[in-house]
Amino acid sequence: MSVEQVVFLVLAVAAVGSAVGVVISRNIFYSALLLVACLFIVAGFYVLLEAPFLAAVQVLIYVGAIAVLIIFAIMLTERMMSKTVRGWNEQWWIALIVTVCLVAVMLYVVVTANWQVSDAATPSDAIVALGQTLLSTYVLPFEVASVILLMALIGAIIIAREEEPVGVVGEQKEEER
Amino acid sequence: MEAIQGILEFIDQIFVKLSFWFSAQLANFLPDWGVTFIMMFATVLVLIVFGLASIIWINVFERKIIGRIQDRYGPNRFGPWGLLQCVADMIKLLTKEDVTPTKADRLIFNLAAVAPVIPTFMILAVLPFGRGMVAADLSIGYLYIVAVGCLGTIAIFMAGWSSRNKYALLGGMRTVAQMISYEIPMVLSVVGVLLLVGSLSMVSIVEAQGQWRLPFVVLQPLAFVLYFTAAVAEVNRSPFDLPEGESEIVAGYHTEYSGIKFAMFLLAEYINAFSICAIATTVFLGGWQGPILPSWAWFFIKTYFLYFVLIWMRGTLPRLRVDQLMNFSWKTLVPLALANLMLTALVAKLVPQYSHVGAIAFLVMNVVVIVCIALVKYPRWRRDRREVVLVPRTATPQVDSS
């Protein structure tokens, strides 16, 4: 076995192990931390594939943003000071159905796909090429993605805003005086 | 004249030559992969030892200056000018009892003491300490720093949560809120510079400043101020030290830590502060470039000058309130960073690179932005609203009929 294969096996075992840990852990904070570990190891795969940009973005977005958001959500739950923060697993069978479907689709793709193997070396200026492709060939999906994010942002603000009847605000303030 | 230049060149490259000599010695009795492995290991070791050793002088430096600012002497008992104070502190911290609260979550509690140190040392790997003196010149340089930097948030929240102490938890919550808010302006302010460079690599950023013959602080003064402010908040230093505000929540997330584990948090904090100064030096102050003195000397002079500014801020500014902190990030820093980014992109397209015209255009752009902010923030034409005294509608005005 080459060095790459050994590293891949170690990473794969660690990634799958931590992913299983996320699901079976009783403590929801442990689950969150194991998820961080799992996502971090996935970044390791990208480093192994000589895609440093993807690795950095993986850490930045999944560990730095999404995992922190999950921790934020846990932080705001009740009883987080108690010894074990229990997870709620009542809907596990729905999750199971979804997971089985997802695995089936992925297996189908893996088996039927026509994998193209290239011997060419990884380009050193991959970031420049990636940036130019994103803003020329794939500019439409790129922009659509940002519009979707903007919609999510506005939606979150609308939902989180305190319900105030419009138009009465000014009068209320006068009464306060 | 040439002899002097030769000596200067030698001093400038002394560390690079030392590393070549060392690898040549290794090559005598080791295969190629062995030399590579040992050289990588040696580089990591040098960085870690440097990080640990720099605490000795950074700590004394900081306490001396804080002492001066507060009109007292600072440490002056142990060693000449109190230089060995840090050694005494370390002995104290190492010999203290290591207490773990009975109700704490032991695994995460112990893990959290080590976790914040790892990303801090990882950042040192991409910093160019001098010409040719960089452990790993990654093509994703700055992105790597940002990605690694965000790991610290999780480490600190682990410490706060696992202590099972309400003050520690409050400190952890404050940290998460603060660090994710200030990460955004910190990253956005540097993107302007990255646009001018066209690369994320830290070495290319320094070299681009050589081509401009100007440090980027001249082209992007606003971005420099934004970066430095946000970075100070990102490493939880005063005046943004809410996560450990000792007058409010004891010591924040490390309330329950003692002895060597507390020392680890202290270590992470000092090295983080050093790293942000080093990054600011690299990105905005021209890195290791400068006349006469060797490149590494310039790097450390600039970095420690910025560190002095940090200490100065710590000694002068009062701590912010939580609401002020959030407002400052989202309503001041983020819009400014976005405006700076958009205008930089526009100007960079319009003016030729590496020219005096370009430099002047960027300066004018920054002055325009700063004047606009000043006008919006402190408008001269806007007077304070007059107090309106409301008269109850039913009451009739009293007529003075005397």
Supply the DSSP string of A18-73, one letter for each residue.
Answer: HHHHHHH-SBHHHHHHHHHHHHHHHHHHHHHTT-HHHHHHHIIIIIIIIIHHHHHH
Domain-located, residue A91:
no
pLDDT, residue B90, reads 83
Contact status of A52 with chain B (Cβ, < 8 Å): yes
Tokens 């526009």 correspond to: B346
- Other C-beta atoms closer than 10 Å to the C-beta of B191 total 16
Contacts of A65 in chain B (CB under 8 A): 150, 180
Spell A19-49 as b/e; 16+ CB within 10 A means b. bebbeebebbbbbbbbbbbbbbbbbbbbeee
What is the pLDDT tens value at each position of chain A, 177 positions in all? Answer: 788 888 889 999 999 999 988 888 877 788 888 888 898 899 888 888 888 888 888 888 888 888 888 887 777 766 665 666 566 667 888 888 999 999 999 999 989 888 888 777 777 677 888 888 888 889 999 899 999 999 998 988 888 776 655 554 444 444 444
- Nearest-CB residue to A63 (from B151, B161, B166): B151
pTM over 0.80: yes
- Which tokens go with A129? 């090429």
- How far is residue A66's CA from residue B368's CA, in Å, rounded to a whole number? 37
| DSSP summary character for residue A92 | H
Tokens 């000092």 correspond to: B270
State the number of CA atoms in the 13 A half-sphere of A42 facing the CB: 17
Judged against a pLDDT cut of 90, whether residue B316 lies above it is answered with no
Q: Are B178 and B236 in contact (CB under 8 A)?
A: yes
- Domain ranges, residue A27: 3-85+126-176
- Domain ranges, residue B296: 101-380
3-state SS of chain B: helix, strand, coil percent to 5?
70, 0, 30
- How far is residue B398's CA from residue B236's CA, in Å, rounded to a whole number? 60
Question: Is there a contact between A75 and B138 if contact means CB atoms under 8 Å apart?
Answer: no
Domain-located, residue B247:
yes
In a mutational test of the A interface, the residue from B140, B165, B195 whose CB has the highest number of chain A CBs within 10 Å is: B140
Domain-located, residue B33:
no
Contacts of A68 in chain B (CB under 8 A): 150, 153-154, 157, 176, 180
- Between A119-123, B49-53, B160-164, B189-193, the lowest mean confidence (pLDDT) is in A119-123
Residues contacting residue B212 through CB under 8 Å, at least 6 positions apart: B196, B219, B353, B354, B358, B359
Average pLDDT over residues B27-37: 80
pLDDT, residue A177, reads 43
Domain-located, residue B47:
no
Domain-located, residue A136:
yes
Domain-located, residue B343:
yes
- In chain B, the number of structural domains is 1
Average pLDDT over residues B394-402: 58
Q: Are B205 and B287 in contact (CB under 8 A)?
A: yes
Dihedral Cα A156, A92, A73, B167, nearest 10 deg: 170
Tokens 């700063």 correspond to: B370
Q: How far is CA B296 from CA A108, A140, B58, B74, in A?
A: 56, 46, 17, 29
Please name the helix (run of DSSP H) or strand (run of DSSP E) that holds residue B402, with its range, or none.
Answer: none
pLDDT, residue A105, reads 94
Please name the helix (run of DSSP H) or strand (run of DSSP E) that holds residue B211, with its range, or none.
Answer: helix B202-212
Q: How confident is the model at residue B399 (pLDDT cuts 50, 70, 90)?
A: low
- Picking from B11, B276, B273, the residue whose alpha carbon sits closest to that of residue B127 is B276
Contact status of A157 with chain B (Cβ, < 8 Å): no
Domain-located, residue B21:
no
In a mutational test of the B interface, the residue from A2, A41, A68 whose CB has the highest number of chain B CBs within 10 Å is: A68
- In chain A, the number of structural domains is 1
- Other C-beta atoms closer than 10 Å to the C-beta of B377 total 8
- How far is residue A67's CA from residue A159's CA, in Å, rounded to a whole number? 22
Number of A–B residue contacts, CB under 8 Å = 75
Domain-located, residue B399:
no
Residue type, B210: G
Residue A151: CATH number of its domain: 1.20.120.1200
Residues contacting residue A164 through CB under 8 Å, at least 6 positions apart: none
- How far is residue A60's CA from residue A43's CA, in Å, rounded to a whole number? 10
Contact status of B108 with chain A (Cβ, < 8 Å): yes
Residue of B nearest to A123 (CA): B139
Contacts of B151 in chain A (CB under 8 A): 59, 63-64
Share above pLDDT 90 across residues of chain B, in percent, rounded to a whole number: 1
Domain-located, residue A38:
yes
pLDDT in tens, B335-383: 888 888 888 888 888 877 777 777 787 788 888 888 887 777 776 666 6
Domain-located, residue B337:
yes
Q: B291 by DSSP, 3-state: which?
A: coil
pLDDT in tens, B68-113: 888 888 787 777 777 788 888 888 888 888 888 887 778 888 888 8
Contact status of B127 with chain A (Cβ, < 8 Å): no
Per residue, the 3-state secondary structure of B111-170, as one string, reads HHHHCCHHHHHHHHCCCCCECCECCCCCCCHHHHHHHHHCHHHHHHHHHHHHCCCHHHHH
Question: Is there a contact between B139 and A124 if contact means CB atoms under 8 Å apart?
Answer: yes
pLDDT, residue A80, reads 61
Domain-located, residue B209:
yes
ipTM here = 0.76
Is the link from the previous residue into B185 a cis peptide, with omega within 30 of 0? no
Judged against a pLDDT cut of 60, whether residue B252 lies above it is answered with yes
Beta bridge partners of A86: A27
